[in-house]
Amino acid sequence: MSTHANKVVLAYSGGLDTSVAIGWIGEQTGKEVIAVAVDVGQGGEDLEVIRRRALDCGAVDAYVVDAREEFAADYCMPALKANGLYQGTYPLVSAISRPLIAKHLVKAARDFGADTVAHGCTGKGNDQVRFEVSITSMAPDMHCISPVRDLALTRDLAIDYAEKHRLPIETTKHNPFSIDQNLWGRAIETGYLEDLWNAPTKDVYSYTEDPTYPPLPDELIISFESGVPVAIDGRAVTPLEAVQEMNRRAGAQGVGRIDIIEDRLIGIKSREVYEAPGALALIEAHRALEAVTLERLQHRYKRQVEMTWSDLVYEAQWYSPLKRSLDAFIEDTQRHVTGEIRMVVHGGRATVNGRRSEVGLYDFNLATYDSGDTFDQSWSRGFIEIYGMPSRLAAAREIRTGGATGF
């Protein structure tokens, strides 16, 4: 009978590399392989087809899970509340999916009695770190391997292995890109994009239409409750439905294309192209509502927390104590982020043009310069005197001691 010591749980995508990895791991380690496929909204084939393929490729068992609702509610929504953007630009498309996939890998390993988890990442990228740190953060006793990194499984070997063993998977040496996609967006790298001077061509994109020739502007109203979108144009939506609809509508207008040089966790720079229409449009709307509802100092400090939160998530710290503490702060800031944002998506841009909230801190009577102004302008003279006192005293000292006053 099999024991936990000779079983490996493999993160299975249904593609060439992980299909070959099933038999490769068995040959290289002598362990049986259980394939685990997790749907985080990447589209493509039916989960049952993927499960069947894993078994046909030699897995002793295969486990599939539709995690789209969980991903939207428990991973995309926290990223939205945090306005999560690495380097101020990248909405953490892959970074937020890995902790969820790792969670299901650990669960499967426990259920099937395995002591090792395998993934298809290379030794040059961020995802190897995200998977393994997430796995060991939940299961410190678990071992992790990568067939590509640890067992010398190159792409040429994978193609030859698949052809030799007649595995039910398409093999090709000509796909120029490495692509990862899910509900929150799509990441594209390698191929001719590695030459920084080369512009992305139209075949790079799938989630977004060319913004050069957009359809007519699309105006919509997004309703939020405590930082979470709950309705679009008055129709109630779940987190999953909100992201799906914004992907469709913003993507049709070419919103969400990103082309950046990214500082990877392992220390190298990488050219990355992303499509994240729903994520970027929702973050823009969420930020606009926070500007109405957050107190000034709270709003200012949250921007600092957002940068740290994004760096932590990018750098494989989803389950870290600091990330957990920042989550508590961010969640507290969202108590009054409730209201509606009107937005126009058109020609690659998502532009907020209306805001309203019953719990907002904007007071028309204080803000207006017209009749009905309730702000007592005489207050400002004393405020300025007190506010400027430290600088005035310092300037007087400089004059007194012959120092510079800045002019």
Is the CB of residue 280 less than 8 Å from the CB of residue 88?
no
- Tokens 């049952």 correspond to 48
Q: What is the DSSP letter of 199?
A: P
pLDDT at 406 (0 to 100): 60
Q: Answer positive or negative: Cα dihedral of 67, 69, 72, 74.
A: negative
Q: How far apart are CA 406 and CA 155, in angstroms?
A: 63
Nearest to 255, CA basis, from 338, 337, 352 = 352
Q: How many residues does the chain have?
A: 407
378 is catalytic: no
311 is catalytic: no
Angle at 320 between CA 317 and CA 323, to 5 degrees: 80
178 is catalytic: yes
Q: What is the pLDDT along the chain (407 residues), one digit of tens a residue?
A: 345 568 999 999 998 889 999 999 999 999 999 999 999 999 888 889 999 999 999 999 999 999 999 999 999 999 999 999 999 999 999 999 999 999 999 999 999 999 999 999 988 889 999 999 999 999 999 999 999 899 888 888 888 999 999 999 876 666 668 889 999 999 998 889 999 999 999 999 999 999 999 999 999 999 999 999 999 999 999 999 999 999 999 999 999 999 999 999 989 999 999 999 999 999 999 999 999 999 999 999 999 999 999 999 999 999 999 999 999 999 999 999 999 999 999 999 999 999 999 999 999 888 888 888 888 899 999 999 999 999 999 999 889 998 776 66
Domain ranges for the chain:
4-176, 179-356, 367-401
Positions at the binding site: 11-19, 90, 120, 122, 126-127, 130, 178, 262, 274
| Domain 367-401 -> CATH class | mainly alpha
Q: Token pair of 307, please?
A: 């940068």
Angle at 311 between CA 290 and CA 90, to 5 degrees: 70
Is the CB of residue 312 less than 8 Å from the CB of residue 190?
no
Nearest to 255, CA basis, from 268, 245, 265 = 245
> CA 189, 167, 132, 324: dihedral to nearest 10 degrees?
70
Please report, as a single letter, which amino acid is at residue 201.
T
pLDDT at 318 (0 to 100): 98
pLDDT at 1 (0 to 100): 39
Positions at the binding site for ATP: 11-19, 120
**Residue-by-residue DSSP string for 317-384:** -TTSHHHHHHHHHHHHHGGG--EEEEEEEETTEEEEEEEE-TT-S--HHHH-SSTT----TTHHHHHH
| Domain 4-176 -> CATH class | alpha beta
Backbone angles phi, psi at 179, to 5 degrees: -125, 135
Positions at the binding site for L-aspartate: 122, 126-127
User: Which of 2, 46, 178, 332 is an active site residue?
Assistant: 178
Per-residue burial over 272-310, b = 16 or more CB atoms within 10 Å of its CB, e = otherwise: bbbbbbbbbbbbbbbbbbbebbbeeeebeebeebbbebb
* 35: Cα within 13 Å, side-chain hemisphere: 32
Q: Answer positive or negative: Cα dihedral of 161, 165, 170, 173.
A: positive
127 is catalytic: yes
Please report, as a single letter, which amino acid is at residue 32.
E
Q: What's domain 179-356's architecture?
A: Alpha-Beta Complex (3.90)
Q: Token pair of 343, please?
A: 């937005």
Nearest to 264, CA basis, from 94, 136, 79, 147 = 94
